[in-house]
């Protein structure tokens, strides 16, 4: 397929010419209790709202209607745990029955429309049931990734004030059991907002104690509710009502509560399942992310179920569970047609099995396309995947905020030529520009800030949870008329977008988005630290890893090595293991400009072993020599 035979150009042009007509047509694939009064109402919300006045239910569209329309016995969800070796599957009818029961249990705790429910769970099917049960009764879920520590969970509890928290006794990581319950208990202690109840799923690997009066055994309540024939009906909500809040790293330690609505989200995800990913109802799709990330929300849970496909949920790693053939095993065992993961997973596989020998052990005949996102797909990794899999490998670019792809290569509409290093072209509804500081579009091929013209298409965030001011300030103020992606890059002569890196302090560690500002807050809280800077430095496996430079207070008697160890432990304790913060380096001072700005760019170049020049504005060039010496001592870079 080439650019002339793909339906991409005409589809994109149609959405540009008549956005309301385009999205009204796409909305026909969804069942509504009441249609929209206005497909796009510019007078509502901060930059307008999609499907204003429409009434719907996301759970109904993900489950009930498929059961009603002949998919009752089709598998909706396959849970495959490489840690336990167990595979379980749920038909659409079975999943619906579970969700109806759990939704009734939630209602028993007084959870209703608009109430928040936090889900702090490992990759088990019950987590998905929890999400759908909330959607069913109009409650707003907020899933918190299991790799975050108690303090991060507490921040999210305080911001969203959940009535109920759904959790589990433990998660499984290679070589260790993650005990969730102590983290949950600590978080509730730390938080000012206290949930009325916690539902705890006891896993056999490590059951936990329950606090009387607050904690309840999930399966016990499920059993009782089932025996009593309890079941909750779908609660109609407005298309513009929130479906979920998902917290993501901002430029401070306080995460941003990205809000997702019901109507636009359903339309956009449904549209993407075939037009972008080429997946039809009834086919098996696998997204190898975690439900704690937006990729997991959209493409483990909502996208495939809205489409009537079968979704695989995988509890395991690309390598070590048990080997670098784990992905191929899952694809062949379940007949996966398309798979979505992060480039870092492929870097891990490539490292363990550089010749891709394990691929040959599996029947991948049903497998058509690999999709990558979450971080820039570096061309060597992408090429390796193409060569070894002998199938299209499609990079696509998006953010927690957008909820679905901004730029990609639409396989369903007809795949366009792949250009390594680019996630390809804007999806319908996204007008992507590259601009300078004055919001003036730069020339083709020139680097600038990547921005999206307002209004954004359905599915994208309407605001931040109870914080319109921060939404405006963080995304809409710097480039008037546009949404700021905080990514930098360029467009080429064919309109392909190249996304090269962030313009803020966010770093991308193994496809996980983390704030260096947030880590600096933790480092600065250590009693022996006078000053600090955290930056992302290049890492062959994870793309980037954080590296903290610290200046100790005068008179500190501990050795630098001791303080460094304490700092590493502090970040793990306050943010969580997912921060992958393992490198702290003590330096006599931080190199700064004469106006006092830390020379992060130069330090990063030194740490990455790249060529660097002495900045003309430097206060004292010797400070960089000191950084060089410290890096050398730790064996970082070539400095
Ligand atoms: N609960 C508790 N801890 C978790 C966790 C979870 N859900 N997920 C990860 N962690 C821990 C890991 O065990 C690890 O701990 P450690 O420091 O004790 O080793 C730490 O957090 C860092 O995890 P991660 O960055 O995932 O590194 P890893 O070495 O365990 O695995 C990869 C590396 C590349 C295999 C892994 O990152 C991966 O598969 N990434 C896929 C990316 C992805 O899913 N991205 C989502 C967006 S698409
Ligand atoms: P998250 O919100 O966690 O999904 O992270 C979003 C950020 O990850 C983006 O702003 C980019 O910086 C980066 N990102 C995601 N996908 C890609 C991609 N395909 N190419 C380049 N960067 C990406």
Domains of the chain: 8-316+396-427+440-476 (3.40.50.12780), 506-634 (3.30.300.30)
The average pLDDT across 104-110 equals 98
- Our answer on whether the CB atom of 428 is closer than 6 Å to any ligand 1 atom is no
pLDDT band at 1 (very low <50, low <70, confident <90, very high): low
Per the CB < 8 A criterion, the answer to whether 322 and 330 are in contact is no
Structure tokens at 532: 């600090």
- Our answer on whether the CB atom of 241 is closer than 6 Å to any ligand 2 atom is no
Note the pLDDT tens digit of each residue in 197-209.
Answer: 999 999 999 999 9
Residue 73 has pLDDT above 80, yes or no: yes
- Our answer on whether the CB atom of 329 is closer than 6 Å to any ligand 2 atom is no
Residue 639 has pLDDT above 80, yes or no: no
The average pLDDT across 423-442 equals 98
Atom in ligand 1 nearest the alpha carbon of residue 289: 44
H helix count then E strand count, the chain = 21, 31
Residue 26 has pLDDT above 70, yes or no: yes
Residue 638 has pLDDT above 90, yes or no: no
Q: Which of 116-120, 122-126, 448-452, 514-518 has the lowest mean pLDDT?
A: 514-518
What separation in angstroms does the CA of 71 have from each of 63, 67, 272?
A: 9, 5, 21
Atom in ligand 2 nearest the alpha carbon of residue 500: 21
Atom in ligand 2 nearest the alpha carbon of residue 396: 19
Per the CB < 8 A criterion, the answer to whether 485 and 431 are in contact is no
Atom in ligand 1 nearest the alpha carbon of residue 340: 48
Per-chain mean pLDDT for the chain: 96
Ligand number nearest to the C-alpha of 122? 1
- Distance (angstroms) between ligand 1 centre and the Cα of 319 equals 11
The average pLDDT across 472-486 equals 98
> CB 32: neighbour CB atoms within 10 A?
19
- Our answer on whether the CB atom of 232 is closer than 6 Å to any ligand 2 atom is no
Residues forming a β-bridge with 529: 552
pLDDT of the residue at 3: 65
pLDDT band at 217 (very low <50, low <70, confident <90, very high): very high
- Our answer on whether the CB atom of 577 is closer than 6 Å to any ligand 1 atom is yes
Residue 301 has pLDDT above 60, yes or no: yes
pLDDT of the residue at 465: 98
pLDDT of the residue at 4: 74
Ligand number nearest to the C-alpha of 372? 2
Residue 324 has pLDDT above 70, yes or no: yes
Q: What is the pTM of this model?
A: 0.96
Per the CB < 8 A criterion, the answer to whether 101 and 137 are in contact is no
The average pLDDT across 291-309 equals 98
Residue 496 has pLDDT above 90, yes or no: yes
Ligand number nearest to the C-alpha of 502? 2
- Distance (angstroms) between ligand 2 centre and the Cα of 514 equals 11
- Distance (angstroms) between ligand 2 centre and the Cα of 223 equals 41
pLDDT of the residue at 174: 95
Note the pLDDT tens digit of each residue in 176-191.
Answer: 999 999 999 999 999 9
Which amino acid residue places its CA nearest to atom 19 of ligand 2?
397
- Our answer on whether the CB atom of 162 is closer than 6 Å to any ligand 1 atom is no
What separation in angstroms does the CA of 282 have from each of 243, 304, 305, 306?
A: 25, 10, 10, 11
Pocket test for ligand 1, best of 81, 82, 144, 173 (most atoms within 8 A of CB): 173
The proportion of the chain whose per-residue pLDDT surpasses 70, expressed as a percent, equals 99
pLDDT of the residue at 616: 87
Pocket test for ligand 1, best of 349, 577, 583 (most atoms within 8 A of CB): 577
- Distance (angstroms) between ligand 1 centre and the Cα of 8 equals 35
pLDDT of the residue at 448: 97
> CB 584: neighbour CB atoms within 10 A?
26
Note the pLDDT tens digit of each residue in 507-565.
Answer: 999 999 999 999 999 999 999 999 999 999 999 999 999 999 999 999 999 999 999 99
Residue 305 has pLDDT above 90, yes or no: yes
DSSP 8-state symbol, 235: P
Structure tokens at 279: 């997946």
Note the pLDDT tens digit of each residue in 557-604.
Answer: 999 999 999 999 999 999 999 999 999 999 999 999 998 889 999 999
- Our answer on whether the CB atom of 186 is closer than 6 Å to any ligand 1 atom is no
Tell me how far apart the alpha carbons of residues 298 and 291 are, in angstroms, rounded to a whole number. Answer: 9
- Our answer on whether the CB atom of 321 is closer than 6 Å to any ligand 1 atom is no
Structure tokens at 164: 């109920």
- Distance (angstroms) between ligand 1 centre and the Cα of 540 equals 15
Atom in ligand 1 nearest the alpha carbon of residue 374: 48
Note the pLDDT tens digit of each residue in 42-52.
Answer: 999 999 999 99
| Neighbouring residues of 319: CB distance < 8 A, sequence distance ≥ 6 | 326, 348, 349, 351, 352
Residue 211 has pLDDT above 70, yes or no: yes
* Residue 418 CB burial class (10 angstroms; 0-12, 13-18, ≥19): middle
Which amino acid residue places its CA nearest to atom 14 of ligand 1?
577
- Our answer on whether the CB atom of 546 is closer than 6 Å to any ligand 1 atom is no
Per the CB < 8 A criterion, the answer to whether 74 and 91 are in contact is yes
Residue 637 has pLDDT above 90, yes or no: no
DSSP 8-state symbol, 399: -
Pocket test for ligand 2, best of 289, 293, 373 (most atoms within 8 A of CB): 373
pLDDT of the residue at 2: 64
CA dihedral 186→190→192→197, nearest 10 degrees, is 0
- Our answer on whether the CB atom of 347 is closer than 6 Å to any ligand 2 atom is no
- By residue count, the chain amounts to 639
pLDDT of the residue at 595: 86
- Our answer on whether the CB atom of 249 is closer than 6 Å to any ligand 2 atom is no
- Distance (angstroms) between ligand 1 centre and the Cα of 578 equals 6
- Distance (angstroms) between ligand 2 centre and the Cα of 249 equals 12
- Our answer on whether the CB atom of 248 is closer than 6 Å to any ligand 2 atom is yes
Atom in ligand 1 nearest the alpha carbon of residue 541: 34
């Amino acid at each position: 397929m080439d650019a002339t035979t793909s339906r991409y150009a005409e589809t994109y042009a149609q959405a540009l010419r008549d956005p309301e007509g385009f999205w009204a047509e796409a909305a026909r694939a969804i069942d509504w209790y009441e249609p929209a009064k206005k497909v796009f109402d510019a007078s509502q919300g901060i930059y307008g709202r999609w499907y204003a006045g429409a009434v719907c239910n996301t759970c109904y569209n993900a489950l009930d209607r498929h059961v009603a329309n002949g998919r009752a016995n089709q598998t909706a969800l396959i849970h495959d745990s490489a840690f336990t070796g167990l595979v379980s599957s749920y038909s659409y009818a079975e999943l619906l029955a579970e969700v109806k029961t759990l939704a009734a249990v939630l209602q028993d705790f007084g959870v209703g429309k608009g109430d928040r429910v936090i889900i702090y769970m490992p990759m088990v099917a019950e987590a998905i049931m929890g999400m759908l049960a909330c959607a069913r009764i109009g409650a707003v879920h907020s899933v918190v990734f299991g790799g975050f520590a108690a303090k991060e969970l507490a921040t999210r509890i305080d911001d969203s004030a959940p009535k109920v928290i759904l959790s589990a006794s433990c998660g499984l990581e290679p070589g260790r059991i993650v005990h969730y319950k102590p983290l949950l208990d600590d978080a509730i202690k730390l938080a000012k907002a206290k949930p009325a109840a916690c539902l705890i799923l006891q896993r056999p690997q490590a059951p936990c104690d329950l606090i009387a009066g607050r904690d309840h055994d999930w399966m016990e309540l499920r059993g009782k509710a089932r025996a009593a024939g309890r079941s909750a009906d779908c609660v109609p909500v407005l298309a513009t009502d929130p479906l979920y809040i998902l917290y993501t790293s901002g430029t401070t330690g306080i995460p941003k509560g990205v809000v997702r609505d019901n109507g636009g989200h359903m339309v956009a995800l449904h549209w993407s399942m075939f037009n972008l990913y080429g997946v039809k109802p009834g086919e098996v799709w696998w997204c190898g992310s975690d439900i704690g990330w937006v990729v997991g929300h959209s493409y483990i849970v909502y996208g495939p179920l809205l489409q009537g496909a079968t979704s695989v949920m995988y509890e395991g790693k690309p390598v070590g569970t048990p080997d670098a053939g784990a992905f191929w095993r899952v694809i062949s065992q379940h007949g996966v047609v398309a798979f979505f993961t992060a480039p870092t997973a492929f870097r891990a596989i490539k490292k363990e099995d550089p010749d891709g020998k394990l691929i040959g052990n599996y029947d991948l005949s049903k497998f058509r396309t690999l999709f990558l996102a979450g971080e820039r797909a570096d061309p060597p990794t992408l090429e390796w995947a193409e060569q070894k899999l002998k199938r299209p490998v499609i990079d696509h670019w998006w953010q927690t905020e957008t909820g679905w792809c901004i730029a990609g290569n639409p396989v369903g509409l007809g795949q366009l030529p792949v250009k390594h290093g680019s996630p390809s072209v804007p999806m319908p509804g996204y007008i992507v520009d590259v601009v300078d500081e004055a919001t003036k579009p730069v020339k083709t091929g020139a680097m600038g800030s990547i921005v999206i013209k307002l209004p954004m298409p359905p599915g994208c965030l309407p605001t931040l949870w109870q914080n319109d001011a921060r939404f405006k300030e963080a995304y809409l103020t710097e480039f008037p008329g546009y949404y700021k992606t905080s990514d930098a890059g360029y467009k080429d002569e064919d309109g392909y977008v190249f996304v090269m890196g962030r313009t803020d302090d966010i770093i991308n560690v193994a496809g996980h988005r983390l704030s260096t500002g947030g880590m600096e807050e933790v480092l600065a809280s250590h009693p022996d630290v006078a000053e600090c800077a955290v930056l992302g430095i290049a890492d062959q496996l994870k793309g980037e890893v954080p590296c903290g430079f610290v200046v100790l207070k005068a008179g500190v008697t501990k050795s630098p090595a001791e303080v460094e160890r304490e700092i590493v432990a502090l970040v793990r304790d306050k943010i969580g293991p997912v921060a992958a913060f393992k490198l702290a380096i003590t330096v006599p001072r931080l190199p700064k400009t004469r106006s006092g700005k830390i020379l992060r760019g130069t330090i990063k170049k030194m740490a990455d072993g790249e060529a660097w020049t002495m900045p003309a504005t430097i206060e004292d060039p010797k400070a960089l020599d000191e950084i060089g010496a410290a890096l050398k001592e730790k064996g970082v870079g070539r400095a």
